Amino acid sequence: MKNNYQPYFDLAELIAKYLRNELTDQEKKELEQWLGANTRNRELFTKLTDEAIVSQQLEIFSASEKDGAWQRIAADTGFKKEGTNPARKRSLYQYAAAVFILLAAGATINHYFFKKEDKKPLAHHQTDLMPGGNKATLTLADGSKVVLDDAKHGKIATQRNVDIDKTQNGQVVYQVENKAEEASKPDAINAVAMNTLTTPRGGQYEVVLPDGTRAWLNAASSLTFPTEFTGNERKVELTGEAYFEVAKNAAKPFFVKTADQTVEVLGTHFNINSYADEKAIKTTLLEGSVKVTEDAGNTIIKLQPGQQAVKTTRGISIIWNADIDEAMAWKNGKFLFRNTDLRTIMRQLSRWYDVDVEYQGVVIERHYLGRISRNVPVSQVFQILRTSGLNFIIDGRKIIVKS
Whether residue 185 contacts residue 205, with contact meaning beta carbons closer than 8 Å, is answered with: no
Q: Which of the four pLDDT bands, split at 50, 70 and 90, describes residue 134?
A: very high
Q: What is the pLDDT of residue 192?
A: 79
Q: Lowest-pLDDT range, 80-94, 169-183, 236-250, 331-345?
A: 80-94
Share of the chain above pLDDT 90, in %: 46
Q: Contact at 8 Å (CB) between 99 and 15?
A: yes
Check pLDDT > 80 for residue 335. Answer: yes
Q: CATH 3.55.50.30 occupies which residues in the chain?
A: 332-402
Indicate the pTM of the whole model: 0.71
Number of other CB atoms surrounding residue 222 within 10 Å: 17
Domain with CATH 2.60.120.1440 in the chain: 133-327
The helix-helix angle for 342-353 and 378-385 (nearest 10°) equals: 180
Of the pLDDT bands very low, low, confident and very high (cuts 50, 70, 90), residue 30 is confident
The CA-CA-CA angle for residues 208, 295, 308, to 5°, reads 60
In the predicted model, what is the mean pLDDT of residues 93-115? 55
User: What's the 3-state SS for the chain?
Assistant: CCHHHHHHHHHHHHHHHHHCCCCCHHHHHHHHHHHHHCHHHHHHHHHHCCHHHHHHHHHHCCHHHHHHHHHHHHHHHCCCCCCCCCCCCCCHHHHHHHHHHHHHCCCHHHHHHHCCCCCCCCCCCCCCCCCCEECCEEECCCCCEEECCCCCCEEEEEECCEEEEECCCCEEEEEECCHHHHHCCCCCCCCCCEEEEEECCCEEEEEECCCCCEEEECCCEEEEEECCCCCCCEEEEEEEEEEEECCCCCCCCEEEECCCEEEEECCCEEEEEECCCCCCEEEEEEECCEEEEECCCCCEEEECCCCEEEEECCEEEEECCCCHHHHHCCCCCEEEEEEEEHHHHHHHHHHHHCCEEEEECCCCCCEEEEEEECCCCHHHHHHHHHHHCCEEEEECCEEEEEC
- Please give the Cα distance from 191 to 226 (Å, whole number): 10
pLDDT bracket for residue 87 (50, 70, 90): very low
Question: Residue 90: what pLDDT?
Answer: 46
**CATH classification of 133-327 is 3.40.50.620, yes or no?**
no
Given the DSSP bridges, would you call strands 281-287 and 334-341 parallel, antiparallel or unpaired? unpaired
How many Cβ atoms from other residues are within 10 Å of residue 250's Cβ?
7
Q: What is the mean pLDDT of residues 328-354?
A: 94
Mean pLDDT, range 278-305, rounded to an integer: 90
Percent of the chain topping pLDDT 70: 74
**pLDDT value for 138:** 97
**The predicted structure's pLDDT at residue 195:** 97
CB atoms within 10 A of CB 395: 13
pLDDT tops 50 at residue 106: no
User: What class is the 332-402 domain?
Assistant: alpha beta
Q: Which of 28-32, 53-57, 145-149, 226-230 has the lowest mean pLDDT?
A: 53-57
The pLDDT mean for the chain works out to 80
pLDDT at 45: 80
* 338 or 96, greater pLDDT: 338
How far apart are the C-alpha atoms of 330 and 308, rounded to whole Å? 16
Q: 183-192, 236-245, 258-267, 378-387: which has the minimum mean pLDDT?
A: 183-192
Q: Is the pLDDT of residue 77 over 50?
A: no
**Distant-in-sequence, close-in-space partners of 143: CB < 8 Å, separation ≥ 6:** none
- Pairing relationship of beta strands 356-360 and 398-402 according to DSSP bridges: parallel
Overall average pLDDT of the 34-56 stretch = 72
